[in-house]
Amino acid sequence: MSDSTLDQPHLQEAEAVRRRILRDMSVAQRIDAAMDMFWVAREQKASALRRHNPGWSEEQVRRAVHEAILYARD
């Protein structure tokens, strides 16, 4: 978060809670959370690609998702 965003008290409180939660997690829990976020991001990207390219096959969607993540493309 940018410093200007944290000027808002409710966001400061949310950030403090987020940090406390992460600090209290084990390494394994943090890895699990990161993997969950990774798979959610992949599915969201696939969903967006399907919506913008309705004629694409699942293989085309899969490849585009792979490339988007591998090369950090939009």
Classify residue 55 by its DSSP letter: T
Compute CA distances 32 → 6, 14, 21, 22, 40, whole Å: 27, 21, 14, 12, 12
pLDDT mean over 47-65: 98
Please say whether the beta carbons of 49 and 65 come within 8 A. yes
pLDDT in tens, 12-48: 999 999 999 999 999 999 999 999 999 999 999 999 9
